[in-house]
Structure 1
Amino acid sequence: MSGKPPPAPAPKFNLLPKIVNGGIAGIVGVSIVFPIDLVKTRLQNQTIGPNGERQYKSMLDCFKQTYRAEGYFGMYRGSGVNILLITPEKAIKLAANDFFRYHLSKPDGSITLLNQMIAGGSAGACQIVITTPMELLKIQMQDAGRVAAQIKAAGGKVGKRVTAWGLTKKLIAENGILGLYKGVTATAGRDISFSVVYFPTFAILSKLGIRNKEDITPPFWWSFLSGCIAGSFGALAVNPLDVVKTRMQTLTKGSGERQYTGIMDCVTTTMKHEGPLAFFKGGACRMMVIAPLFGIAQTVYYLGIAEYLLGYKRDKIV
């Protein structure tokens, strides 16, 4: 008989606590950064007039105008639908990435960079079933104040305030369930690309924080910093796709603002009238949203709150 000890059994993948952790992480993160996300949406949607005029001069100016016109709670317009749907969205995204990483790992638990990218992209593809309607509804709510301000400035009458439920019923009545999936191709392009960049970057940075072989995860502050850095990098990389997605999903346009027939029309029209820098509108805001959002989300996720509550053993980072 060989003196070698039997190989250690492969760790079991527990999906339930990962889903719960993802949901908790999403709610905590989005509640904190939502006002910045609202500013990001409004900056991405504003177009430059023929004489270079614009509604918001900067991110700070957008904050000031929104607060002045709509008050503190105006900064949270659309947060209800976002908080409601961010739970399944983040649960799917974070849990699916771990699921695909688990099945794409080698027997010794290691995983190649290519497989990390495939796992991340697959997770991004899974989440769009929730992300697309969530983003569609959120954008209408977030951008309503900007359009209303334009109408008031032109001396027009602002219509009845839009609600997420009212908009949902209207879209389903007009186009069925597919009405909630306007811009799904642009959303898929953004989310898959982001996840391909984000998850491998986060995993590499997280491993650097593990000093002892016995440690399952790095310190919580290292997870937070890793999420922030990876989120910032991923957000900036895919910002052009986010601009296109936001414009494609904005149903109510302001006076003189352009409508787009498809993704390529949006890209070519934006390039023609606003130049390449238009694709980085709201980039700083997006980085300020995504960095703490994913920093907070990954910290909550890797603290293993659900494992503690449900009595599961925590998994080691691979």
Structure 2
Amino acid sequence: MATTPPPQAVAIKPKSSAMEALEDIIYGSIAGIVGKYIEYPFDTVKVRLQSQPSHLPLLYTGPLDCFRQSLRSDGLSGLYRGISAPLFGAAIETSSLFFFERLGRDAVLRLGLARPDHPLPLPALWFTGAFAGVFTSFLLTPIELVKCKIQVPAPSGGGVVALRPLPVIRDIFRHQGLRGFWRGQLGTLIREAGGCAAWFGSKETATKLMRDGNVRAAAAGTEGEQRRAREDPLPLWQQAVAGASAGMSYNFLFFPADTVKSRMQTTPIGAEGGGRGFGAETAALWKEAGVKGFYRGCGVTVLRSAPSSAFIFMVFDGMKKYLPMQ
């Protein structure tokens, strides 16, 4: 009686660096766009609160008042004003963060700071986040400059003029040249380097804590349950908690740098204070409003970052796992 030969083991070809990079770019872009749609109305409120001139009576008493006034004057569409540039920016930002973070991991391994057959230690993951943030900041500043000018247009008569990206870009170039697109770069650099270290680091720290908890809970179970606790993806709710903690850490820890950057980018070209640098703008805000001025809009920003960041990581990690490119 003939016997069936045993099935041949199929060798899994390791994914090439090019495919890893392509996944980072495509899946990161999709995740960033999803997150931006969720957070954009809150971001508009945050920028409007940050950009209020402290030497004049405040336009808004807080986030809820800003929401009410914005809805009353412009409707829901007003909270999404200028979203085309931010959607492009979110795709660039998120894909760049995941792309450069992976390059940071490669650099850590090449320098011999971690073993390739072991997960990277948490301090290394905080470093790779900062590494990604530094490079991403240079791509992000021009996009955020256009976004902020659209979100907080200069008043004209009894209302505001709805701005579009191309006229804003032409106006910046005409008055300040190519260099003008990087106004606020130092603020973006501080926010992205420190914030992205916290973004990736907090996510990985929370993931490790919950993974360890799952392993301890499965210790009395079967061998299969213990293996799944060690190797399987975290339950969906735990992934959401890890992603939310990342977004909240990113936005809270370096919010003052973002406030100064937003003030620099929303000051009309040629207006008083329009040419102040990061240090001078920081000193001016401190003199006008003290510590409180640096945290205008912080609450609404941290609030909106939780679901947005949770969805970004869940979409990106899910696509990497279930839609791998070979």
TM-score over 0.5 for the alignment? yes
Greater alpha carbon shift after TM alignment, 40-49 vs 108-117: 108-117
TM-score relative to the length of structure 2? 0.81
Cα distance in 2 for residues equivalent to 1:254 and 1:287: 32
Cα distance in 2 for residues equivalent to 1:114 and 1:204: 10
The one-letter code matched in structure 1 to 2:179 is L
Is 2:250 the partner of 1:248? Answer: no
Is 2:151 the partner of 1:142? Answer: yes
C-alpha contact 1:18 1:95 (8 A) present in aligned 2? yes
Is 2:30 the partner of 1:58? Answer: no
Is 2:18 the partner of 1:19? Answer: no
**Alpha-carbon offset, residue 220 of structure 1:** 2.9
The one-letter code matched in structure 2 to 1:32 is I
The one-letter code matched in structure 1 to 2:28 is G
The one-letter code matched in structure 1 to 2:124 is N
- Residue 247 (structure 2) aligns with: 231
- Residue 45 (structure 2) aligns with: 39
Cα distance in 1 for residues equivalent to 2:77 and 2:173: 28
The one-letter code matched in structure 2 to 1:124 is G
- Residue 163 (structure 2) aligns with: 162
1:11-160 matches, within 5 Å, as 14-49=20-55, 53-104=57-108, 105-144=114-153, 147-148=154-155, 156=157
TM-score relative to the length of structure 1? 0.83
Cα distance in 2 for residues equivalent to 1:260 and 1:274: 20
**Alpha-carbon offset, residue 306 of structure 1:** 5.1
Secondary structure at the residue paired with 1:47?
Answer: coil
The one-letter code matched in structure 2 to 1:278 is G
**Alpha-carbon offset, residue 265 of structure 1:** 0.9
- Residue 194 (structure 2) aligns with: 193
**Alpha-carbon offset, residue 204 of structure 1:** 1.2
Cα distance in 2 for residues equivalent to 1:45 and 1:178: 22
**Alpha-carbon offset, residue 278 of structure 1:** 0.8
The one-letter code matched in structure 1 to 2:75 is G
Identity percentage over the alignment? Answer: 27
Cα distance in 1 for residues equivalent to 2:183 and 2:105: 30
Deviation readout 1:241-275 (Å, 9 max, x if unpaired) = 111111111132899x7545111111111111111
**Alpha-carbon offset, residue 235 of structure 1:** 1.1
- Residue 4 (structure 1) aligns with: none
Cα distance in 2 for residues equivalent to 1:12 and 1:209: 31
C-alpha contact 2:82 2:163 (8 A) present in aligned 1? no
Cα distance in 2 for residues equivalent to 1:103 and 1:230: 23
C-alpha contact 1:220 1:302 (8 A) present in aligned 2? no
Matched length:
292
Instruction: Could you tell me which runs of 5 or more consecutive residues in structure 2 were left unpaired when the two chains were aligned.
Output: 1-12, 109-113, 215-227
**Alpha-carbon offset, residue 157 of structure 1:** 5.7
The CA RMSD over aligned residues, in Å, is: 2.5
Greater alpha carbon shift after TM alignment, 201-210 vs 276-285: 201-210
C-alpha contact 1:221 1:299 (8 A) present in aligned 2? no
Deviation readout 1:265-307 (Å, 9 max, x if unpaired) = 111111111111111111101102322221110111111x255
Aligned partner of 1:218 among 231, 234, 253: 234
C-alpha contact 1:209 1:219 (8 A) present in aligned 2? no
Task: Report the CA distance shift for 1:233/1:311 in structure 2 as closer, same or farther (over 3 A).
Answer: closer
1:264-283 matches, within 5 Å, as 264-283=279-298
Cα distance in 2 for residues equivalent to 1:213 and 1:89: 32
- Residue 3 (structure 1) aligns with: none
Instruction: Could you tell me which runs of 5 or more consecutive residues in structure 1 were left unpaired when the two chains were aligned.
Output: 1-8, 313-318
The one-letter code matched in structure 2 to 1:129 is F
C-alpha contact 1:40 1:282 (8 A) present in aligned 2? yes
Secondary structure at the residue paired with 1:209?
Answer: helix
**Alpha-carbon offset, residue 31 of structure 1:** 0.6
C-alpha contact 2:97 2:132 (8 A) present in aligned 1? yes
Task: Report the CA distance shift for 1:159/1:69 in structure 2 as closer, same or farther (over 3 A).
Answer: closer
C-alpha contact 2:267 2:273 (8 A) present in aligned 1? no
Cα distance in 1 for residues equivalent to 2:203 and 2:65: 33
Cα distance in 2 for residues equivalent to 1:310 and 1:82: 27
1:284-303 matches, within 5 Å, as 284-303=299-318
